[in-house]
Structures are given as C-alpha cells and as structure tokens.
Structure 1
Amino acid sequence: MTTIDLFVDDSDIDVAIDDRDEGERRALELADRIRMVAAHDPGHAQRLVDELIVQLDRALGGTFREYLDGPARDVADRALTGAGSESSAVISPAENS
C-alpha cells in the first residue's frame, strides 16, 4: 500500500510578501540568534541587546522609548540610562565574532 504524505512544511520557504513581512521575518531571526547567544553566554547576550537598544534609540532620534510600554520600556530605560557605563559599551566586531 502506498501512502502519500500531505503534510507541507513551509518553514524553509523564504519568500517575502512585502517589506513588512520581510522585516518581521528578519526580526524573528535576530531574536532567535540572541536566544542562542544567551544560552551560551547570557552576559554577552545582554550587552548585545543593550547595544541594539542604544542604536535603535539613536536611529529614531532619541524616541525609541515611545514605542514601548511595560517591561520592555523598563529594559530600554535601563539600557539607555546605562549607555555610558561599561556594561553597555559598544561591542567591537572582534567581540561579536
């Protein structure tokens, strides 16, 4: 007897429908990569997240907090107020590899 597998796994299809979908896909990939780093080195992952927050705030002219609320805003506030501290220092490409 022959069986036909009708289950379709579309997780490997990499076709963006529009720019928004592409942006969401890339954001999910970034979050997944940060989770993998956090599993091996939580401190390094936190520094990466802090630097990402600082750079997003710069790119948005200092208004990044306005897009957040609750715990996410608290995390951003901590990263942005600590921007001059050693824990939020810019990560060099050598450290990032």
Structure 2
Amino acid sequence: MTDIGQLDDTDIDLAIDEGEADERRAMELASRLRMVAAEDPDLAQDLVEGLIVALDQAMGGTIRQHLDGPALGVADRVLRAPEQGR
C-alpha cells in the first residue's frame, strides 16, 4: 500500500465555475495579506487601505454600500483621509 500523503485543493484538477475561481483568488489574497501582516503590520495596513481606495474608484465611489461593521469604519476613515483628496 502506498502512502500518498496529504492532498490540498491545488493537487486536484477539478473544473470549477468562474464564481468558485474568483472565491479561490479572494481567499488566496486574504491569505497573502495575513502573511504580510504577520511580518509587517504597517505594510499590510497600507496595502488594505490602497485596495479600499482602488475598489472605491473602480466601483464609482460605492464601496461603502457593500461594507458593514468594522470594514465600513475603515473605509470611511481611509476615504476621508486628506492624502486621498477627499
């Protein structure tokens, strides 16, 4: 009997729809942000703030409508920052 070890989802080649692919990419991004935060919390915060600004611009200034709780508070703070021209 052969011991094949542990498999993760990258070891299995399954057809997935676009929504599942987008969700996997989002999870990978979140994982990478957590790794950065563990090494350099200030850099991670800068990256998140930049992402909020970029998403708000891409969404025509409506990012706040898609957030709630602490995420909405962070977006409000970031998008009101003087250096963002708001």
TM-score, with length taken from structure 2: 0.81
Code of the residue aligned with 2:42 in structure 1: it is G
Query: Is the aligned partner of 1:74 residue 2:80?
Result: no
The answer for the alignment partner of 1:11 in structure 2 is: 9
By how many angstroms is 1:18 displaced? 1.1
CA distance in 2, matches of 1:43, 1:73: 19
By how many angstroms is 1:15 displaced? 4.1
- RMSD, aligned α-carbons: 2.3
Code of the residue aligned with 2:75 in structure 1: it is A
Structure 2: gaps spanning 5 or more residues: none
Identity in percent: 56
Q: How many residues end up aligned between the 2 structures?
A: 83
TM-score, with length taken from structure 1: 0.73
* SS state at 1:54 partner: helix
Question: Which structure shows the bigger proportion of residues in helix conformation?
Answer: 2
Code of the residue aligned with 1:77 in structure 2: it is D
Code of the residue aligned with 1:9 in structure 2: it is L
CA distance in 1, matches of 2:13, 2:77: 36
Structure 1: gaps spanning 5 or more residues: 86-97
CA distance in 1, matches of 2:46, 2:13: 30
